[in-house]
Amino acid sequence: MAFENERWSESRRQGIVDLPTYYISRHEVTVAQFKAFADATGYRADPLALQGPLNHPVANVSWTDALAYARWLDARLRESEQTPEPLKQLLADGWRVTIPDEAQWEKAARGSEGRIYPWGNQPSRDKANYSGTSTTPVGSHACPECQYGLHDMSGNVWEWTRSPYQPLPFDPSDDRTNLAEDALWVMRGGSFNDAENNARAAVRGAADPGARRPFIGFRLVITRL
């Protein structure tokens, strides 16, 4: 596991990345949602991932666990008669449910102004769960100042991305979803047990794709791949 804070990083700035339209989930995936997947498929999840409060973000999930959940949900949405028609049309047009790449995650967190935190440029424990002792229910920290209406983009749990770790400036087209090469995968956002520095939107973490930790979870996007 590795962490990169731009204050002492040897990497250069990322520069401008062109991002096509995508949709990102308002909340992190919950224990209840991940448990529904495990129950439906018999997936061999870490038992600890299924034991937390149902409305808390799921944790103790690996990168491969997160992708497995996304692929299952993608298939369910394609098959279900209850899927809203606009979403069904996106999926029919080649969009996919997956986890965000690093650029998608950072854009969603920092907004159009490049904020230090999703809500602005000053830390606030009223708007995020960091420097704490445990996860909290998803969406329990109101953030009306967050540009895209998202919750827990700072704190609660680190969130997996589908981007392999590489020094800045990273190649946004490199968003492999296979394990063909030995690599760390990027996670973003900080967690409940991180200090405010790691809750900043620019801070990068990385972990082995098989790592299951009580402070790592994920959220989803719908995007073209």
Question: For residues 118 and 147, is the Cβ–Cβ distance under 8 A?
Answer: yes
Residue whose entry in the numeric block shows the structure tokens 């969603």: 108
33-51: average pLDDT: 98
Specify burial of residue 225 (Cβ count, 10 A radius: 0-12, 13-18, 19+). Answer: exposed
d(CA 61, CA 158): 11
- Main-chain dihedrals φ then ψ at residue 37, nearest 5 degrees: -65, -50
The arrangement of secondary structure in 2-9+21-224, i.e. its CATH architecture, is Alpha-Beta Complex (3.90)
How large a percentage of the chain has pLDDT more than 70? Answer: 86
User: Tens of pLDDT along 52-66?
Assistant: 999 999 999 999 999
Strands (E), 41-129: 95-98
Q: At what angle do helices 63-79 and 31-41 cross, to 10 degrees?
A: 70
- Main-chain dihedrals φ then ψ at residue 74, nearest 5 degrees: -55, -45
Which pLDDT score, from 0 to 100, does residue 74 have?
Answer: 98
Q: Nearest Cα to 52, choosing from 153, 149, 156?
A: 156
pTM of the model: 0.89
Rg value, the chain, Cα: 17
